[in-house]
Structure 1
Amino acid sequence: MNKGIAKLLSISLLCIFLIACQNTKQMDNNSSPPSSDHIKYNQEGDIRDDQPQLEGGSERDVREPHPVSNDKLQKEYPNILVLHGNPTKNQVALTFDDGPDIRFTPQVLDVLAKHDVKATFFLIGARAKAHRDITKRIHDEGHAIGNHTYWHPNLPKESLERLRWELTETEQVIEDIIGFKPRLFRSPYGALNEEIVKTLGEMNHTVIGWDVDSVDWKLPGADMVADNVLSNVGFGSIILMHDGGDWSMDLSGTVEGLDRIISKLKEDGTKFVTLPELIGIPETK
């Protein structure tokens, strides 16, 4: 074998070795929950560079607007999964996912305070830890708090071990800030399956879905956000909205639409309550 061929063969073997090492490293990373090293940073850099992002991806890229499978699961597990409240009482629960967000959660809280309305916030553990002051404000102003996982993964694609880690880490963060572990849980993207629901029940969680979707995650603007809610709301409705999301999402339409929704429903005599009040369960585990 001449020197040229030998050199080429050596380089090829080195490349194969390096690729194999990289693949092994990726497999190792995927087998365990992410650490703070996995935080993606705001590309604009002028808001906050420590805002943890949604690991599973933007709501627009992942979530189906009407997960019919959750209706089937609710019939199978009525004591664990809740999609709406009492259909005979003129009261509704506003719920907000994916916060706390440094940009939009304070604006949502301002609108709620303006109307003296209480809501329920499903918090991402990593964001609650990054924005402790906003998390505390949510609690101090009388709103209920639920668990929305630590990194917002798409849970049906993860192991049950990962689910338990996400729940426990978020519980610890929230308890450290406001003094208790929340009982309420909402799955990112509303994504559930039978195994997940069973595990959540075993961990003493009440799983919360919704029956009215504002579809604000599609950023349709304030008029459509308000219309989506007002055209579908009924007695006992659980209304899905967002006070946070992917770094690229501008939720100004949610804030403006929320003001209109509350004003209109108040005219109809609708009472706004937290989820623990709507379904008659304690907020804490």
Structure 2
Amino acid sequence: MTNFRIWAVGCIASFFLLGVSLAFISMNDQTQTTSGTDDLYEEIISNKAKYEKPAENAVIDKVWKKTPGIEGRAVDVQASYNKMKKDGVFNEKMLVYKRVKPDISLEDLPSSPIYRGHPDKNMVALLINVSWGEEYIPDMVKIFSKYHVKATFFIDGAFASKHKELVQMIEDEGHTIGSHGYLHKDMAQMSENQAEINMEKANEVLYALTNKKVKWLAPPSGSFTMNTVIAADKLGMETILWTVDTIDWKQPTKQVLLQRVLGKVHNGATILMHPTQVTVDSLPELIEQLKKNYRIGSVPTLLSENR
């Protein structure tokens, strides 16, 4: 029995000494690891300001009126460190960012027309105003599909009633559908109430065909007053104008149309066109040229705060 006790005490002592040794080794390794990686952590902290961007609020610009904000980005130090610690060296390509939302969004601003996206956003939007030209729409839709482009079609309510299949084709392809009013009437000549009635009539037709609330209005011929903008706002709609015009309804040559756009395009541009033969002929080259420097998106994507 005495021998057993001596053996047991010896085993316990051996395990205790082994545990102390392992703990010391682990502590020593931890100290080395912490010491080695603290430098990397500190380097990320010291460099992060160079890569961060502040969020910018939506504003009503003196010239460009209602202008969307754009989100900022902040370096996630811990997540970036976790990605880099395997190599143990700072690598800007492995930085992880957190999105920083603006304090003021478009929805927070009073009624005002919108002409463009944020000037720092490397994107443009194609706007197609539709109250005629039904024979060209299928070709335009095919071209957009081929180049994986989403456009925004502002469709007249009366036109939509006559050409339901075209509206549904546009909808099925994932393009954004907005309103071009009803019967292409001059909204600048309407009272607020008259404009609201006109928009509601168009919206009813478009909603019946798409089952989606209409959020965007392009006044016919770009003719509007604040009555138009306020009426649209009451219906939960934004009034959209443009910054670059193809003037395709005057049937320019393809080269002239391309020059009109490519010579004036800019970050956040809204490019106006219509369903015409010259537009169909120009679209492939126009899209290819635009894609060299810009992304092409729908109006909702252009006006979103996503950088």
Aligned to 2:184: 152
Give the residue type in structure 2 aligned to 1:74: K
What do the CA deviations read for 1:134-168 (whole angstroms, capped 9, x no partner)? Answer: 10110110100101111001111233333122111
Q: Structure 1 pair 181/88, CA: closer, same or farther in 2 (3 Å)?
A: same
1:274 aligns with 2:298: yes
Aligned to 1:90: 122
Give the percent of matched residue pairs that are identical in Structure 1 and Structure 2. Answer: 30
Aligned to 1:74: 65
The structural deviation recorded for 1:133 is: 0.8
Verify the 8 A CA contact 1:98 1:124 in the aligned structure 2. Answer: yes
The structural deviation recorded for 1:261 is: 0.8
Verify the 8 A CA contact 1:221 1:254 in the aligned structure 2. Answer: no
The structural deviation recorded for 1:129 is: 1.0
**Unaligned regions of 5+ residues in structure 1, if any?**
1-69, 244-250
The structural deviation recorded for 1:113 is: 1.1
Verify the 8 A CA contact 2:119 2:267 in the aligned structure 1. Answer: yes
Give the residue type in structure 2 aligned to 1:275: V
CA–CA separation in structure 1 for the residues paired with 2:128 and 2:269:
14
Aligned to 1:256: 281
Q: Structure 1 pair 234/228, CA: closer, same or farther in 2 (3 Å)?
A: same
What do the CA deviations read for 1:211-255 (whole angstroms, capped 9, x no partner)? Answer: 111111221121111110110001111111112xxxxxxx21111
What do the CA deviations read for 1:49-84 (whole angstroms, capped 9, x no partner)? Answer: xxxxxxxxxxxxxxxxxxxxx975826977531100
Q: Map 1:14-93 onto structure 2 (within 5 A).
A: 74=65, 80-93=112-125
How big is the alpha-carbon RMSD for the aligned residues of Structure 1 and Structure 2? 2.2
Paired residue total: 204
1:180 aligns with 2:243: no
**Unaligned regions of 5+ residues in structure 2, if any?**
1-60, 68-108
Q: 2:249 aligns with which of 195, 217, 226?
A: 217
Verify the 8 A CA contact 2:171 2:177 in the aligned structure 1. Answer: yes
Q: Which runs of 4+ in 1 moved over 6 A?
A: 75-78
Q: Structure 1 pair 225/78, CA: closer, same or farther in 2 (3 Å)?
A: farther
Choose between structure 1 and 2 for higher RCO, CA contacts under 8 A separated by at least 6 residues.
1
Aligned to 2:195: 163
Aligned to 2:172: 140
Q: TM-score, normalised on structure 1?
A: 0.67
Verify the 8 A CA contact 1:100 1:131 in the aligned structure 2. Answer: no
Point out the more displaced range, 123-132 or 149-158. Answer: 149-158
CA–CA separation in structure 2 for the residues paired with 1:105 and 1:238:
19
CA–CA separation in structure 1 for the residues paired with 2:259 and 2:180:
26
Give the residue type in structure 2 aligned to 1:265: L
Structure with higher Rg: it is: 2
1:241 aligns with 2:273: yes
Verify the 8 A CA contact 1:122 1:146 in the aligned structure 2. Answer: yes
Q: TM-score, normalised on structure 2?
A: 0.62
